[in-house]
Structure 1
Amino acid sequence: MTTRLPTAVRDRALQIAHHEMGHYVVARALGFATGGVTLTVTMDLRHQGGACITLVRPISSLETMKEHLEARMMVLLAGAMAQTLPSKTSAPKRVDKPKATAILKGEQGAEQDYAKIRELQHLLRNIAYPDTDPASGERIAAQLKAMTDRLWARTQKIIEDQADTIAELAVVLVNGMTIVEQWGRPADTYEVVYTGPMLERLRAVQSIPSLGVWTDSCGDVVQHWK
């Protein structure tokens, strides 16, 4: 049975649900195996969310490695982008880039995503430009920016194309939230856990297009708490 959430809790829960479902949808679209999604919001609006994404896969060449790193960066970018999608169904489904950038840089709990992106973009650049002089600061910065801008644009297109699916899955997640019993003190935490098999049965999940083919089974949990 669905618990009636206080308005402020529901609004925060929907924001974070969009974030987690952004990770989830882009991961599936790019061919990553996915598991469950979790969401927790307290009465004072602290929150935690997680999307289970498998990272284990065979990598037999540098080209395959580059493709994997690019896809992984796109999955990490996707959460903040999806969180900025408008909640009103009548509004254009567009990513708010300044807001998404602020979320990634730590204003709303996605610092882990940003830290991982920073590490991966340097690794990817090192593979793409193996002969770069470490002292070439301006050239390295330009290469990193060009790489990130390209992946941002690709990710944004998927998020906007799949905005209705992300919104539908976010509502499903939030509608499943219930208050957690806490012995000896008032319950103040709402949570939901959707397992991988539960999500697989949803028509919205089954409709996510495949944009990349990877094989494989839960390695990484993209998780946030604030």
Structure 2
Amino acid sequence: MTKKMPPAVRDRAVQIANHEMGHYVVARALGFETGGVSLTVTMDLRHQAGASITLAHSISSIEAMKEHLEARMMVLFAGAMAQSLTSKRSLGKRVDQPKATAILKGELGAEQDYAKIRELRHLLRNITFPETDPASAERVAAELKEITDRLWLRTQTIVEALADTIIGLGEALVDGVDIVEQWGRAADTYEGVLTREALERMGLVQAIPALCVWAGSCSDADP
């Protein structure tokens, strides 16, 4: 069915599928429990999509909280970065940083991801730098930038290392979409889903490495 998708619709579907698989793959690599991934794209290029990620996690210390917030921010960064990747698999694939930034800040979507990141980084800064005077706007801004830049670069490293996995899973999601029959009018919506069970059976998913999961579990070999 996807072979009959208009090129512009398929291109949009691939971009959004890569975005959601970026969230999914990085979340899984960082130790979050993951579920299914869904995608809906219409002929006029509107879309809805989502990757199911379980946020519930036992947190028993400030360090564990910091690890959790950092991992969550990286998962949010990963969607825009994955969407910026070219669709063809190749060695040395790079994140298009200007495009990823534009996607994240709302020029090409992902406004909700960015809104969550902005709130989480403030909470992370409050925990990481408790002695900073909140009235020192310049110091607070510098600390926020340090956190954002550090996590952005780490996420970029992971997304680029796992780019073929992200793109391969995105292709699988798009290849599985079907057009939705609309009673009384022409069908104009393509929908697809990869369930948790289907994803768990895929070799690409089984090969996703466990990177820095939670406090104390990072190895020197991690990206």
> In the alignment, is residue 132 of structure 1 matched against residue 132 of structure 2?
yes
Deviations 1:24-44 (A, max 9, x none): 000000000000000010001
Structure 1 stretches of 4+ moved >6 Å: none
Which residue pairs with 2:220 in the alignment? none
Aligned to 2:20: 20
One-letter amino acid of the structure 1 residue matched with residue 71 of structure 2 = A
Partner of 1:99: 99
Question: Percent same amino acid among aligned pairs?
Answer: 73
The residue correspondences of 1:12-91 to structure 2 (distance < 5 A) are 12-90=12-90
**Higher RCO (C-alpha under 8 Å, 6+ residues apart):** 1
Structure 2: which 5+ residue stretches go unaligned? Answer: 215-223
Q: Displacement of 1:7 after TM fit? A: 1.1
The DSSP-based 3-state class of the residue aligned with 1:124 is: helix
Q: Alpha-carbon deviation of 1:3? A: 5.8
Distance 2:213 2:159 in 1: 19
For these two proteins, the number of residue pairs brought into alignment is 214
* Aligned 8 A contact 1:3 1:179 in 2: no
Contact 1:86–1:92 at 8 Å: present in 2 too? no
Query: How much does 1:203 deviate?
Result: 0.5
Residues 1:213 and 1:145: Cα distance change in structure 2 (over 3 Å): closer
Cα contact 1:26–1:159 (8 A) shared by 2: yes
Partner Cα distance (2:28, 2:91) in 1 = 25
Report if the CA contact (8 A) 2:89-2:167 is conserved: no
1:1-226 equivalences under 5 Å are 4-90=4-90, 92-213=92-213
Q: Write the letter of the residue equivalent to 2:187.
A: A
Counterpart contact for 1:29–1:209, Cα < 8 Å: yes
Counterpart of 1:177 in structure 2: which amino acid?
Answer: V
State the TM-score, normalizing by the size of structure 1: 0.91
CA distance in 1, matches of 2:213, 2:122: 25
Q: Distance in 2 between matches of 1:213 and 1:67?
A: 8
Q: Could you state the TM-score of these two structures normalised by the residue count of structure 2?
A: 0.93
**CA deviation vs aligned residue, 1:71-100 (integer Å, no higher than 9, x gap):** 000000000000011123358410011111
- Sort the Cα spacing of 1:83 and 1:2 in 2 relative to 1 into closer, same or farther, 3 A: closer
